[in-house]
A = this chain, B = another copy of it.
């Protein structure tokens, strides 16, 4: 069996805490690695702090070189990496490969952005008090960053923390999800070959105590967390003086107007609803269709859902596979059952086998049902109808969350109204909320998050402005 050392302060090491990584599809052991405790974390922190000023002063062409080397290595090893990712996360291979491609993008964009860090040159003589003075604003790295990544995009959501950290000149310690540490440990092997100062990057699967220290230890100047809302908001309260970025989830909705391309809407909702069994922060959970086209949409959507091919994650033909574990599948089952008991109707699917939950379509839901109100993080969509566009927007906004929303429409006015009134970090016209490219600003409002990722935006959050005021004469 393959063994993975963890990456502590620039060295691959073993610890006493064994961690087995299982394939969710058949519970076979994919590989074995280990957990870091307080001591290993301390080592990583100290190494990171010791290279902080070296990182700050790293010339841009070196940052660029390091980041591009990572991107190219990811490209070379993409098949191998996609397979590891498929196995540890139970993610169908074609989606796993998509994730690798996006991670390549993330490092490439970060390489480019490292040469374009924010810098301002401002005039100061707006009043006589500032006569013969001018200002420069340079953005300095914020300091040591703790990055906590989730199981659902184990490589790319870690990349969204690592790549900006390197680009902005910050050391970073990454805690992957316990279930899925392997792909990011593979990334560590790649990064270890670059000229990145040793200690600037660590990957530590952790026990609870060490994990908690990422939040509370004041030597970290920033905490970047991607995960569930409850955990995230609690971290914000405990984070002390550090900056906090939270990428949490939601119950993203789609509006399908009567004047829209219905086939496009069906095709996109299929991916948004079922990709990786809906274990995606911007999974399409609520589809809201104009009453004029409701029946047609439902019929077409069921037809297409039926065509999805179940299989093992490492099979390239697989469209949908198991969920991350049986616990989660059972949770989804319970929520669906509750909804049905409370009056909802299943249009398709609804059944569980082990960790597999069928692609499922529900209607006649009520807003307070868990399948509507909470983040389902499973292959379940609800479909409801609306009469007026404003009503559809109200339905979208009737949520604690606000990450992204999708709107299918041909009308300028509906596009404008959606942009002005939908309470979310992003509104996607003629596509699903699941749409994300890696350079766009991404993040939620309301309970869905705090701050923005998307390489340039993450870099900005990882830096602090410093103003220089100087004379223009002497």
Q: Say yes or no for A130: interface residue by CB 8 A criterion.
A: yes
Given contacts A119-B123, A416-B474, A428-B469, 6 further A-B pairs with CB under 8 A are A119-B121, A121-B136, A416-B471, A426-B467, A430-B471, A441-B465
Residue of B131, B427, B465, B468 near A468 (CB, 8 A) is B427
C-alpha spacing A468/B417, complex, angstroms: 11
C-alpha spacing A429/B464, complex, angstroms: 20
With contacts A131-B61, A236-B241 known, is A413 near B126, CB below 8 A? no
State whether A126 touches B474 (Cβ < 8 A): no
C-alpha spacing A410/B474, complex, angstroms: 8
C-alpha spacing A445/B466, complex, angstroms: 9
Interfacial chain B residues near A101, Cβ < 8 Å: 127
With contacts A115-B126, A412-B415 known, is A468 near B429, CB below 8 A? yes
A-B contact pairs, 10 of them (CB 8 A): A119-B122, A233-B241, A236-B241, A241-B447, A410-B412, A412-B470, A413-B474, A415-B470, A418-B468, A429-B468
Interfacial chain B residues near A122, Cβ < 8 Å: 119, 439-440
Residue of B412, B415, B418 near A409 (CB, 8 A) is B412
Count this chain's copies in the assembly: 4
Q: What are the interface flags for A94-135 relative to B under an 8 Å C-beta threshold, 1 for contact and 0 otherwise? A: 000000010001000100100111011111111111111101
Residue of B59, B109, B411, B427 near A412 (CB, 8 A) is B411
With contacts A236-B241, A237-B237, A237-B240 known, is A440 near B124, CB below 8 A? yes
Q: Say yes or no for A435: interface residue by CB 8 A criterion.
A: yes
The SS class assigned to the A binding surface is mixed
Within 8 A of B (CB), among A450-474: 450, 452, 464-474
Within 8 A of B (CB), among A315-336: none
State whether B138 touches A126 (Cβ < 8 A): no
Q: Say yes or no for A346: interface residue by CB 8 A criterion.
A: no
A-B pairs, 10 with minimum CB distance: A121-B121, A119-B121, A426-B467, A413-B474, A429-B470, A59-B125, A428-B469, A419-B468, A130-B437, A112-B112
Within 8 A of B (CB), among A398-421: 409-413, 415-420
Residue of B60, B115, B124, B424 near A466 (CB, 8 A) is B424
With contacts A60-B126, A123-B60, A413-B474 known, is A425 near B465, CB below 8 A? yes
